[in-house]
Amino acid sequence: MNALATQTISRSVRRLRGFTASFEAQMESTAAQTGTQFELDEDRLAAAFLDWREEFERQKPDAPEDRIAYVSFAAGLMLRALVLHDPVQAKPSDEADPASPATFWPEGHLYTAYCLNIRNIVLQEKIDHAPGNVPEMDDLRVWESFRENAHENPARAIAFLDLFSGGEPDWSAPETFRSERYQALIRRICDQIG
Amino acid sequence: MPDVLTSLAMPLRDAARLLRTATFAAEPVFRPTAKLLPDAVVELVERAIARADDMGDQVLTPPLPGPEDIAAARALLTGEEGGSRLALTRTVAFGLTALLPRFEHEHAMVSESALALITGDATPRGDVGESMARVCRAIVARHVVLVPDGLSLGSDALPVTFATLLWLSLDRNGEQDEIRLLHLAANVTHHVEASLRDADDVALAALFVRLAPVI
């Protein structure tokens, strides 16, 4: 039995072995769906994981009311680390649809699919709720903007993951987690200002 | 002589490895000289080199340790019950040998005998991190790994040893793909190499303690 088999995905992705295994499973699944060939640089994947893990621990909130919101934010941090270290090289198949986001930016599409899936599985584990996809996920114009923005500043990947998961992206400082208490305070101030 | 060496199997395996390493080093030297020698002599020397190669290859790579060996090796470092010096020697020899090609030292040899002498000091004093750091420093200092030109591994000695001990320290539950775990430990080590080189003993111990639960 695998050491991580008895752990929930929210625990197993916090270990490099669980993270690597789940990422490879996503790669295989995406390759089967799209016909794209992926080549993985495990060294870069480890770098992405270590960056993510450090930031995950640094920003982890203490308040129980923040835990669910932090799942989405942590998935965004993961996407940022993957975009930054870019551990995969993709070769789309000759028959791939050029208008599909998976062909336009196969690596980014793979990273996003992985992070959304992990987010959804963790939410399912924690609150028994698996959100569906939003229309932006298939909109090529959104993906053009995503790729350009993410290359300029990988932190914007966090905001795009919020967008793809149906949340409200924070475009100004996406790399900083805002606690429920902080957001409530901001809402109160905005209400007072009118 | 430490009891772990009494079977003589370890020194004999080391001798075969040394022969293999020496023939690898001798081959480039022999090639230019061969032009001056009669064909029959060249053929004889080439056959001798090939046989030494074959024999060395058979013992060059220590066998993959089983879960019991790994548990016993790990226990010696962590201070748990069931620790075994022989298991620690075999397991570390396997880990170092498997990782050396990653550091472009395919033809280096790991001396099990030298390792066995070090593992005598592996009884934990202090916490697990301190114990790992002490064994790590001892392996690097005693030149357990020899390369064909007779020089040491240089700056690669610390990361290859650290990665091996980091792998050994990982928690396990049942059978694992040990080669995969070993390479994950090496990938992580690669990203802390700068901190590793600057680390004193306390920092080295802290790195073991911080990284093992992450892999």
Integer Cα distance of B161 and A153 in angstroms: 37
Torsion sign over Cα B122, B126, B131, B134:
negative
Which residues, 6 or more positions from B143, have their beta carbon under 8 angstroms from its beta carbon? Answer: B114, B152
Tokens of A186: 């901001």
How does pLDDT run along chain B (215 residues), one tens digit per residue?
Answer: 455 554 556 666 676 666 666 666 666 666 666 666 677 777 777 777 666 666 666 656 678 899 999 999 999 888 888 989 889 999 999 999 999 989 888 778 888 888 888 876 666 666 889 989 999 999 988 878 777 666 667 788 899 999 999 999 999 877 789 999 999 999 999 999 999 999 999 999 999 999 999 99
In the chain, the amino acid numbered B56 is G
Tokens of B98: 């498997």
Separation in Å, CA of B96 to nearest CA in chain A: 19
Instruction: Name the residue facing A3 among B173, B184, B190 (closest C-beta).
Output: B173
Three-class secondary structure of residue B133 per DSSP: helix
Q: Name the percent of chain B in helix, strand, coil, to the closest 5.
A: 70, 0, 25
Separation in Å, CA of A42 to nearest CA in chain B: 7
Q: Provide the pLDDT for residue B18.
A: 67
Does residue A1 belong to the interface with chain B, where contact is any CB pair within 8 Å? Answer: yes
Say yes or no for a CB contact (<8 Å) between A15 and B215: yes
Separation in Å, CA of A36 to nearest CA in chain B: 25
Integer Cα distance of B209 and B207 in angstroms: 5
Which residues, 6 or more positions from B189, have their beta carbon under 8 angstroms from its beta carbon? Answer: B159, B162, B163, B166, B196
Contacts of B67 in chain A (CB under 8 A): none
Does residue B174 belong to the interface with chain A, where contact is any CB pair within 8 Å? Answer: yes
Contacts of B213 in chain A (CB under 8 A): 15
Contacts of B181 in chain A (CB under 8 A): 17
Phi-psi domain of A71 (left: phi exceeds 0; alpha: psi -120 through 50; beta: other): alpha
Q: Provide the pLDDT for residue A191.
A: 75
Tokens of B43: 């053929």
Q: Where are the alpha helices (DSSP H) in B106-148?
A: 112-119, 128-141
Q: Are B205 and B133 in contact (CB under 8 A)?
A: yes
Integer Cα distance of B16 and A171 in angstroms: 64
Q: What does DSSP assign to residue B65?
A: P
Where do we find the tokens 């357990």?
Answer: B144
Predicted complex ipTM: 0.82
Separation in Å, CA of A49 to nearest CA in chain B: 9
Instruction: Name the residue facing A46 among B172, B180, B191 (closest C-beta).
Output: B191
Instruction: Name the residue facing B174 among A3, A17, A53 (closest C-beta).
Output: A3
Instruction: Name the residue facing A1 among B171, B174, B181 (closest C-beta).
Output: B174
Residue range A139-193, pLDDT digits in tens: 999 999 999 999 999 999 999 999 999 888 999 899 999 887 777 777 777 777 7
The segments of chain A whose pLDDT lies below 70 read 1-7, 194
Q: Are B2 and B117 in contact (CB under 8 A)?
A: yes
Interface test with chain A among B102, B180, B184, by most A beta carbons within 10 Å: B184
Contacts of A15 in chain B (CB under 8 A): 213-215
The two beta strands, A37-40 and B109-110, are unpaired
Say yes or no for a CB contact (<8 Å) between A46 and B172: no
Say yes or no for a CB contact (<8 Å) between B188 and A16: yes
Q: Provide the pLDDT for residue A5.
A: 46
Three-class secondary structure of residue A158 per DSSP: helix
Which residues, 6 or more positions from B28, have their beta carbon under 8 angstroms from its beta carbon? Answer: none
**Residue count of chain A:** 194
Q: Provide the pLDDT for residue B160.
A: 95
Tokens of B92: 């570390």
Say yes or no for a CB contact (<8 Å) between B184 and A46: yes
Contacts of B190 in chain A (CB under 8 A): 43, 46
CB atoms closer than 10 angstroms to residue B127: 14
- CA distances (Å), B203 to each of A189, B120, B154, B174, in order? 46, 24, 20, 31
Contacts of B184 in chain A (CB under 8 A): 16-17, 20, 42, 46
Q: Are B91 and B172 in contact (CB under 8 A)?
A: no
Separation in Å, CA of A41 to nearest CA in chain B: 10
Integer Cα distance of A89 and B208 in angstroms: 32
Integer Cα distance of B167 and B161 in angstroms: 10
Q: Provide the pLDDT for residue A88.
A: 98
Integer Cα distance of B84 and B73 in angstroms: 6
In the chain, the amino acid numbered B153 is L
Contacts of B178 in chain A (CB under 8 A): none
Instruction: Name the residue facing A47 among B183, B191, B213 (closest C-beta).
Output: B191
Work out the angle between the directed axes of helices B178-191 and A42-59 (0-180°, nearest 10). 70
Q: Provide the pLDDT for residue A3.
A: 38
Integer Cα distance of A68 and A135 in angstroms: 23
Beta strands in B23-172 (DSSP E): 109-110, 145-146
Q: Are B87 and B76 in contact (CB under 8 A)?
A: yes
